[in-house]
Amino acid sequence: MTFADPQPQLQSSHDIAESWRKVVARRRMYTGLGFLILFIGFVGSVRFADESNAGHFFDRLPHLFDFLSWLVPKDWGDVWRALFDIASPNDKGGQEFNFDQGRVYIWGDFYIPEYFELMIITFNVALVSTIIGFIFAVPLSFMAARNLTPSNPLRIAVKRFMEFLRAFPEIVIAGLFSAILSIGPIAAIIAISLHCIGALGKLFYEVIENVDMRSDEGMRSVGASWMERVRFAALPQVLPNFMSYALLRLEINIRASTIIGAVGGGGIGEELKLSISRGFGAKTLALVLLLFVTIFAVDQFSAWLRRRLVGENAFLLKH
Amino acid sequence: MTFIDASQAESIQERYPEVFQRSFFKRFAPLLMVISLFLYGIYAVWFFEIPKAISEGHWERVGIYLSQWVSYDVQAEFRLEGDTITPKYPRFSPLGNDPKPDWVKQNSDRTVTVEIRGPSRAVTFSDTEATLTAHGESVRVELSGGKPTVSGNIRPWVSVYDEDVVADMGFAGEVRVEADRVKIRKRFLGWANFIFDPQSPFFGKSIGEVMSLVTTGAQIEPGRSNLSLAIDNFLNNGEWQHGDVWVKLLQTIIMAFLGTILGAVVSFPLAFLAARNITSSRFVNQSFKRFFDFLRSVDMLIWALFFTRAFGPGPLAGSAAIFLTETGTLGKIYSEGLENIDDKPREGVQSTGANHVLVQRYGVMPQVVPVMISQTLYQWESNIRGATIIGAVGAGGIGLKLWEAMRTNKNWENVAYMVLLILLVVFIFDSISNALRSRLIGKPQH
């Protein structure tokens, strides 16, 4: 038996070159078309955004750095005093320099500076949400993974449910619960945890779908139940990846809890928003510095821990 | 079938001591983690005062707010002045301007019956007494004597106050009886006035009537076609503000689009400088990587607050905030993508004597561009969600509108409408970017 020539119409090298040129020309046309569409969309978007903004881009551009004038404090020492709640010599009443008012006394004269207390709240919101998300996402992800699901309809249902949790705007959940539980960090915890369950669940079931199924075969061959298969065949393989993703999620959740805080969830976000809107330079700088250092430190620590858990290629930023 | 006897088991244990005698830490690490998680849980419960918050929560509001998502209520007041009972409906209520609802019945003996949910939950009243009916029971309220008094047993669904008697009829509504008036709150399922508000000439007409008005009817407003009037009335619907909501939603999408695409354009060349296999200077690599970390760590919220001050509230501020954060994120993703490429195509192109730029163009880009586009699409998608939230701090878009609707604690049906629109948009973008990604990378991702 002989196979037919796959491309009998290409007889000579000239034909091959001609056909290659055609392919390249078509691909270039598509690329060009794509860029053109992108460019038109970009120009249209810029004009739309500029028109619907309160201040226009070119009118405001010369004033872009105006806010630096209030941001730069007259006395740089005030930034440190604001950070550590030390009374400022510039304090003439009012709220701009009342640094020593916010001290949270723990024991005698020992106090936690106000901003550190707020940062602890924001960090705890993120950590609690990540833990709650992790605890719920693990069982849900085993139900949603194609290779380990107990039943197919359940898999689809769990997957849709997690998609819904991911897409539902966090700020609505936060708003609803702050109306019920009064404004505060608990509403933020609920909002971020629900989102976190959906986000972690998706990452987790993708990890589970890529596990080596030979150990699962071994477990099944000795008659293991679903729980035993999950516990002894899959979990040891996926746990390092799970931890790595949970750490990644912690980084994202710290940002989320700051933002939710700014819209009423308490913590450092709210204070930052107030301080910027009132134009308190030293306080704003102290808050930005604290927030920046915390986020940077958590990012670096979690990157280091993730490298130890799953090796160099651990970084997969997904929300 | 072979079995292991005791001596064989011992010899196995001797050969692999690391499996059978693991260090204390390794053996108890899971237990320690569970214990520390448990302790942290207790600390968190104490720190956030969770029991106090839960016991002080207004849990009755859950039902009220959630029912407001899918229903609306109409309030009516009946004044009892001597023999005449005058109904009063609020202006611009979903019932229309001059309502004669069929659930308010004038009886022949000059009493009025208001059906809250059919005849089984209703109130019948004259100027001297009112009869509340619900749950198969009837309660008579005497109105003569300056204040309402319940005659007979007080049922659990009736609350008696100094000035009024309130009957809770469940989801359907409530009746409030005072000495000289009866107030009704009746709840209907659905969204009222969703298409036209009561001020529109098209209000209360069926689809067929509106269609015939639009196509063949006489001009309602002289010099303007009925179609344009109908569209205008729809977009400027007083309660639902369709036009405004849609523009705000578009602003959010555009904010995410502009921020992501600008971030991609800026971070693309910088990523080549940050990748250590492409630019050999360690100093340049490290400084760009730290620069990306800096942009990411300052956080979208801080950028958003600053730019809201600089540009004024609106999508420009949001776009700028997303742009700076995204430059950091995409720069990190791109440079890590570049560091993971296969070096052989580069060497091949280099060996032909191509210059530095051409080596990147033909040796590197074909490998990384599909992955980069896929990651960028993913970031756009997730930035739509991010843009919703930073909108609420003043960066414009649907987030601000959502937040304002929630703050009043009344417009939960508008919140539900906007949430539905957001879910729809996220779902559509999810599908589009999944389809594009699977074509680019060649394997289905979902």
pLDDT, chain A, mean: 84
Whole-number pLDDT of residue A8: 55
B258·A46 Cβ contact <8 A? yes
A175·B57 Cβ contact <8 A? no
**Which of A59-63, B292-296, B379-383 has the weakest average pLDDT?**
A59-63
B403·A175 Cβ contact <8 A? yes
Band (A314; pLDDT cuts 50, 70, 90): very low
B242-441: CATH topology is: MetI-like fold (1.10.3720)
Residue in A167, A181, A313 closest to B53 by CB: A181
C-alpha A244/C-alpha A203 separation (Å) is 11
**For B414-424, what is each residue's pLDDT tens digit?**
899 999 999 99
**For A89-104, what is each residue's pLDDT tens digit?**
777 777 777 777 777 7
- A65 contacts on B by Cβ (under 8 Å): 310
Q: What is the mean pLDDT of residues B105-120?
A: 80
CATH 1.10.3720.10 range(s) for chain B read 242-441
* ipTM score of complex: 0.81
Nearest to A205 by CA among A252, A163, A256, A247: A163
Considering only residues A13 and A204, tell me which one the structure prediction assigns the higher pLDDT: A204
A–B: how many Cβ contacts below 8 A?
Answer: 188
- A259 contacts on B by Cβ (under 8 Å): 300-301, 389-390, 393
**For B195-226, what is each residue's pLDDT tens digit?**
787 777 777 777 787 788 777 777 777 777 78
For residue A104, how many other CB atoms are within 10 A of its CB? 13
A169·B309 Cβ contact <8 A? no
Residue B375 has pLDDT above 90, yes or no: no
Residue in A131, A171, A179 closest to B37 by CB: A131
Share of chain B above pLDDT 90, in %: 15
Instruction: Find which of B302, B339, B361, B431 to mutate to test the A interface (most A CBs within 10 Å of its CB).
Output: B302
- A123 contacts on B by Cβ (under 8 Å): none
Residue in B65, B310, B319 closest to A49 by CB: B319
**For A258-274, what is each residue's pLDDT tens digit?**
988 888 778 888 888 88
B385·A54 Cβ contact <8 A? no
- B329 contacts on A by Cβ (under 8 Å): 317
**For B60-106, what is each residue's pLDDT tens digit?**
888 888 888 888 878 888 888 777 777 887 776 667 666 777 788 88
Residue spans per domain, chain A: 15-64, 114-314
- B423 contacts on A by Cβ (under 8 Å): 164, 167-168
List the B71-81 sheet strands across, edge first.
B84-88, B71-81, B181-189, B173-178, B164-168, B158-160
Which CATH code fits A114-314?
Answer: 1.10.3720.10
C-alpha B334/C-alpha A193 separation (Å) is 29
Closest-CA distance of chain A to residue B419, Å: 7
Pick the residue from chain B with its C-alpha nearest to A163.
Answer: B427
Whole-number pLDDT of residue A319: 34
For the purposes of burial, counting CB atoms within 10 Å of the CB of B103, is it exposed (0-12), middle (13-18) or buried (19 or more)?
middle
What tokens were used for B114? 């208001």
**For B389-414, what is each residue's pLDDT tens digit?**
888 887 888 888 888 888 887 778 88
Residues 6+ apart with CB under 8 A from B70: B189, B190, B191, B413, B416
Residue A126 has pLDDT above 90, yes or no: yes
Residue in A45, A127, A171 closest to B402 by CB: A171
Band (B16; pLDDT cuts 50, 70, 90): confident
A291·B299 Cβ contact <8 A? yes
A167·B340 Cβ contact <8 A? no
pTM of the model: 0.82
